[in-house]
Each structure stands twice: as C-alpha cells, then as structure tokens.
C-alpha cells in the first residue's frame, strides 16, 4: 500500500513540475509572439558567468536617463519598481518619455517595468541621471556569438528588440546591428 502512495506521489510531483515548466515556457513564447515590439539602443559589455556561460550586458539607453529628458509621474523610490513609458525616437530607437511610480492605466505607448537603482546619480560630467535595471539586461549567447557582438558593439548602432507585454514585462526578442536583424529569439 505504501509503495502505491510513493509512486502516486512521485507521479503527481513530476506532473506538477512539468506543468510549471510548461507554463514558464508558454508565457515566454506568448510574450515574444504577441508583445509589442520596441527597439532600444544599446552598448554592450561582454562578461562571462562561471555557471551560465557567456553573456553580454546590455547597456540600454533607457537604463540611464539624464534628468530633464523625461517627465515623472508619482514619487519614484530607489529599490522599487518603476514603469517607463516609451516613445519613438530618432534613428529607429525608442526612448523614455515618462517615468511612472505605478503602471499607468490604459497606456497608449509601450511601458517597460524595471527597478530604480538610483536617482539623480551624478556622473563625471555632473549630469544627474536616473539608473534603471531591467530584468532583461543580460543577453546570453554562445562564445562565438558573444565575441561577434563584442566586435561590432563599438563602431555600429546596436539595437535590442524587446517584446513588451501589457503589464510592462519585457523580453529580448532579437538583436539588430545598423538596423539589420542579426538574431531572433525563439522559445520553441
């Protein structure tokens, strides 16, 4: 009798874990397929992670915003979620229009959710900046692709194509160099 309970419990646990993994994959696939596409300008840094392999840190143009180049809606708190409304900018890249303390209701433009790391950080040029971290600020690639991206990052316009969901969630959908699509992310 105990053996049946153990086997039944193991099968149930396997089914629950498989369902959870399936939901994660389906959510990612749905975001990439049905999210609104925006292209953000980026510079890249190429570190390596001992456990996860090669990745490129995305230095997104909307991740360090100079004060006065956007509007603020609500009280922004360091370490809290922040919502960045985007608008089309020059040369095909999207830029920040408004920083929101809460997700705006029925936004007309794409809105990305990130975390405010610091506000009014003063850089070497004494330009106050807001620094925002996004969940998709690392792009994992095999060693050859990471090296190729490292070669082009300094002398070309690197674009990160982000699929933006209705709740502000974003995922890297692709990479472009000088407006030419060089990589498309697929889940399946």
pLDDT average, residue stretch 93-98: 93
pLDDT of residue 157: 75
Q: Global pTM?
A: 0.73
Q: Is residue 122 part of a domain?
A: yes
Q: Is residue 26 part of a domain?
A: no
Q: Is residue 18 part of a domain?
A: no
Banded model confidence at residue 111, pLDDT cuts 50, 70, 90: very high
22 vs 48, more confident: 22
Please tell me the total count of domains within the chain.
1
CA dist 39 → 100, 153, 160, 181, 188 (Å): 20, 15, 5, 11, 22
Average pLDDT of the chain? 81
Q: Is residue 61 part of a domain?
A: yes
pLDDT average, residue stretch 61-86: 90
Rg (alpha carbons) of the chain, rounded to whole number? 20
Q: Is residue 23 part of a domain?
A: no
Banded model confidence at residue 144, pLDDT cuts 50, 70, 90: confident
pLDDT average, residue stretch 74-84: 92
Q: Is residue 16 part of a domain?
A: no
Q: What percent of the chain has pLDDT over 90?
A: 25
159 vs 87, more confident: 87
Domain that holds residue 178: 31-184
Strands 111-122 and 138-140: unpaired
**Is residue 156 over pLDDT 70?**
no
Q: Is residue 19 part of a domain?
A: no
Q: Is residue 108 part of a domain?
A: yes
Q: Residues 44, 56: contact at Cβ < 8 Å?
A: yes
């Amino acid at each position: 009798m105990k053996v049946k309970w153990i086997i039944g419990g193991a099968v149930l646990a396997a089914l629950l874990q498989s369902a959870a993994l399936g939901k994660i994959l389906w959510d990612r696939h749905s975001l990439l397929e049905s999210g609104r596409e925006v292209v953000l300008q980026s510079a890249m840094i190429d570190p390596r992670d001992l456990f996860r392999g090669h990745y490129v840190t995305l230095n997104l143009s909307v991740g360090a915003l100079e004060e006065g180049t956007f509007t603020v809606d609500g009280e922004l708190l360091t370490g809290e979620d922040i919502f960045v409304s985007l608008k089309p900018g020059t040369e095909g890249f999207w830029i920040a229009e408004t920083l929101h303390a809460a997700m705006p209701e029925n936004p007309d433009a794409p809105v990305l959710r990130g975390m405010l790391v610091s506000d009014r950080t003063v850089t070497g040029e004494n330009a106050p900046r807001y620094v925002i971290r996004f969940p998709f600020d690392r792009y994992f690639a095999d060693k050859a692709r990471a090296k190729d991206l490292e070669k082009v990052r300094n002398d070309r316009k690197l674009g990160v194509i982000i699929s933006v969901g209705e709740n502000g969630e974003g995922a890297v959908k692709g990479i472009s160099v000088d407006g030419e699509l060089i990589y498309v992310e697929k889940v399946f």
